Amino acid sequence: MTAPAPQSIAPQAIPTFALRRHVSEREYQAWVRQHVPAATTRYWRMCAYRRFTEQWPDLEAWFAAPLVDRLGYAGAAPLRSNGRTDSHRASAYLVYLSMVKGIGLDYSYLLGRKYGRLFDPRGGGDRLGVDSALFDRWVDRLDELGYSRTKAHEHLMWALGRLCLHRGDADLTAITDDDLFELGAAVRDFAARDDFTVLRRDLFAHQSGWNVDGAAAARFQAQHLAKVHAAHTLLFNVGQVETPPRKGTRAPRASTLHLLQVRCPSPIANVVERYLALRLDAGLDRKQTVRLTRNALRRLVVWLADEHPEVTNLAQLDRKLIEGYMQWLPTCLSTRTRQPLSSSQVKYELNIINAFCRETAVWGWNDVPGRPLLTGRDTPRRPESVPRYLPDHELDVLMNAVGQLTDPLQRAAMLVLRWSGARRDEVRRLTCDCLDSYPDGHPRLRIPVGKGYTERVIPLHPDAAAALQHAIDLARAHRAAARYDDCADRVVDYVFVRRGKLLSPKTLFDEAFRTACTTAGLVDTDGNALVSAHRFRHTVGTQLAEGGARIQTIMAILGHRSAAMSLIYSRISDPAVRRQYEAALTAGNRIAGPAADALLHDKLDDKTVHWLQTNFLKTELELGHCLRLPAEGPCECDLVLTCPKFLTSSEYAPRIRSRLATETKLVEDARERGWDREIERHQATRRRLQHLLDELDEFAEPGSTPV
C-alpha cells in the first residue's frame, strides 16, 4: 500500500471584486482625495496609478506574469538608488484594491514587498478599514505573554498585514487557523524558489552590507515563520483560533500517528491500520504507546515483504514464520542508533505482536492469525540492573549548578525533578493549581495523570516549592490560554509556559541539564553530560529505601503501579548492604546458632555467600536471621530456635533475655494450671535461650535462671 502523501494546504481562493480588473482613474482619484490629506502624496499616488495601468492595462495579466516582472526587477524597469521601481510605487494602489475592493493579493508578491505602516494610523490604516486600536491591544497581549513589545509589534505587523492583504479583508477578527497554515506554507514555498537569491538580492540591493549566501533562504524561512508563529500564539490566546500554535505553523494531520506508511498488500495494511486506529481513537492506549505499536508492526510487515513476499494476508502467519522473525529481529539495526536492537526492545516488540495476535483473535477479526503465536518464554529475559542513583558528591555539585540557572522555569523544573522523583513529562505538565500545603504548612505537590494513569499527591521540599511558586506566579501573570490535556482529559492551565506555548522537553530539561552538568564539570571530553535527568528519580527512590521508607510509601511517591517496581530500591545494595552486613557479621559481634560454625569456618560455597550478601536483611527474624537458601524451598517449620539455619548475634541479646523472662512466666502459669505438657515445652525453650546467651557470653536477667 502506498502511504498517502502529507496533505498540503491548497492555495486559498483569492477573493475577487467581480473580475480582477482596474478601477477607473476617476473612482480611484475620488477615494484618494477623500482619504489622503497631503496634496503631494495625492499627486504621487495618481502618478504611480497611471504608470502601473499603462504598463499593465490588464490586471489579470499582471497576476499571471512572472514574479520578477511583477516586482519590477526585470526588463527595462530601472532599480533606483532607494530600491524602489515604478512597479513598487504602485503598492499603495494594490493595497487599495485588496483592502477596499476585496481583490486579494497572492503571497508570492506579498513576501517580496514590505508593508510596514498598514496598521499605523499615520500610514492610513484606519481609512483602509483596519482596526488600529484592536491591533494595539493585541500587541499589548503578546507583550504580556512574554514577547518584547518591539518584537510583538514587528511580528504582528508583518504577519497580520499579509493575512489581510491576501484575504482582501481588513477584518482582523476573521482570520482563521487555515489562514495561518496557508501563510506558513507560503513562506516555506517562497524560501524554496529557485530564484530566491535573485529576488532577495534585488530587493535589498540598496542596503549596504547585504549578503545573499547559501543560508539566506534558511534565514528568511526561520525569521518569517517566527512571525507567523507569533501571530498564531496571539490568536490562540485571545480565543480566535482553536488549534494550539506549533513550531513551523503546519496544519495538524490527525491520521499521521496511525499510518503504516509502507508498501504491503491491502489485506495486511487494512487490518493493521484498523487495529492502530482502534487503540488510538477509542482511547485504549496513549499516543506514545500507539506509536511504538505502529513501529513494531511496521517492522514485521516490512520483514514479511522482504523475506516472504508470498504472504499476502496475516492469516497466513504461522509459528514457523514467527520463529524466523524471532531469529532476525535481534540482528535488525535501530533507525536511531544504527546498532542492533537491544534485548529490551526485542522483548517489547515481540510482546506487541503477541498482543496483536491474541486480541484480534478474541475480537473475531478476519485476515488475522486467529490464535496466539508466541508465549512468554519466547521473549528474551531482560537484565535487571540496579537503579543508577546520583552519589552524594555528584549530587551536591550538580544541585549547586542547578541553583545557578538563570531561567526561572528551567530552575524550577530541575528542582521539582530532584525533590519529587516525578517523571519529566509529569513535571512538564504541572498545572497552576498543583501546589498547596499540608495542615502543618509543609508544601504538597499534586502530580497530574501520566504514565501510571493515576493522579497523586506527595510532599515537596521547601526549596523546590519556592521555585515552583515563582514559576506559577509568572504563568498567572502571562494569562496564557488554557489547553486540553489528553492524559487528564480536561482543560488545564500549565505552569511551564512561555510566550503562550508549553515548553518542550528539550528546552525545559535537556538544555537546562546540559548547562548544569557543564557548570558542575560532569561532562566528558566531547562536552556530553555524564549523567541524565532521570537519575534524579532513581536518587529519590534510593534515598527513600535507605531511609527506611515502606514499599507503599515509595510506590505512592514515585507513582509505581506494582510493588515489584518499588522493590528494586529496597534491595540490599550500597551503602545499606555494606553498613548493615558489617554491623551484623564483621563489627566484632559474637555469633551463635547452628549456622554459625559454617559461617565462621568458611564452609559456605560461593553461591551461598552471594545469596547471603544480597538477601541478608530479608532473612531477619525476631531473634536473628535464617540462612535457608531459596533452593531448599520455604521454611516448613516454626521452631526457629531449633532450626539448623538459625543464626543470631550479640545485638539480639536484649531480645533473647526478654523472651527468656517471658518463657519463665509461662512455666509458672502452666504449673498453676496443671498443664504438664506446656511446662515441658516452655522449659525446653527456656534452656535453648539460656544456651544461646551462654554462647554469646551474655548473662540472663536475675530471676530468670532455669530451675
* Cis-peptide into 575, omega within 30 deg: yes
Is the confidence at residue 496, as pLDDT, over 90?
Answer: yes
Query: All 3 cell numbers of residue 39?
Result: 496634496
pLDDT tens for each residue of 181-201 = 999 999 999 988 887 877 765
Give the ranges where 168-240 is alpha helix by DSSP (H). Answer: 177-191, 196-203, 216-237
Gyration radius of the chain's alpha carbons: 38
Q: Locate 621 and state its grid cell.
A: 527474624
Q: With CA atoms as reference, report the closest residue to 476 among 495, 490, 460.
A: 495
- H-helix or E-strand spanning residue 538: helix 535-546
End-to-end Cα spacing for the chain: 92
CA–CA dist 249, 224 (Å, integer): 11
Cell numbers placing 187: 513562506
* pLDDT reported for residue 214: 61
Region 228-239: mean pLDDT is 92
- Return the higher-pLDDT residue of 616 and 37: 37
Q: Which has the closest alpha carbon to 215: 203, 230, 200?
A: 200
Read off the C-alpha cell for 603.
Answer: 564452609
What does the alpha-carbon distance between residue 201 and residue 690 come to, in Å, rounded to a whole number? Answer: 102
The tens digit of pLDDT for each residue in 468-488 reads: 999 999 999 988 888 888 777
Q: What is the mean pLDDT of residues 664-680?
A: 86
User: Which of the given ranges, 22-31, 262-271, 375-384, 567-576, has the highest pLDDT on average?
Assistant: 22-31
Residue 2 clears pLDDT 50, i.e. is over it: no
Per-residue pLDDT band for 432 (boundaries 50, 70, 90) equals very high
On whether the CB atoms of residues 245 and 228 are closer than 8 A, the answer is no
Q: Which of 396, 585, 594, 430 is nearest to 503 (CA)?
A: 430
pLDDT at 342 over 50: yes
pLDDT of residue 220: 87
In one-letter notation, the amino acid at residue 269 is A
625-626 vs 646-649, strand pairing mode: antiparallel
- Report d(CA 152, CA 226) in Å as an integer: 11
Say which range, 98-102, 219-223, 614-618, has the weakest mean pLDDT: 614-618
| Distance of alpha carbon 414 from alpha carbon 177, whole angstroms | 35
Architecture of domain 266-378: Orthogonal Bundle (1.10)
> In 354-381, which positions are buried (b, 16+ CB within 10 angstroms) versus exposed (e)?
bbbbebbeeeebebbbbebbbeeebbee
In which element (H, E) is residue 315 found?
Answer: none
Task: Provide the pLDDT for residue 184.
Answer: 93
Output the CATH code of domain 392-546: 1.10.443.10
d(CA 171, CA 153): 18
3-class DSSP state for residue 396?
Answer: helix
Give the pLDDT confidence of 550-573 residue by residue, as tens digits.
888 888 888 888 777 777 776 644
3-state class (DSSP) for residue 523: strand
User: Tens digit of pLDDT for each residue in 257-296?
Assistant: 566 777 788 889 889 989 988 888 777 777 788 888 998 9
Which pLDDT score, from 0 to 100, does residue 208 have?
44
Beta strands in 553-675 (DSSP E): 591-592, 625-626, 646-649
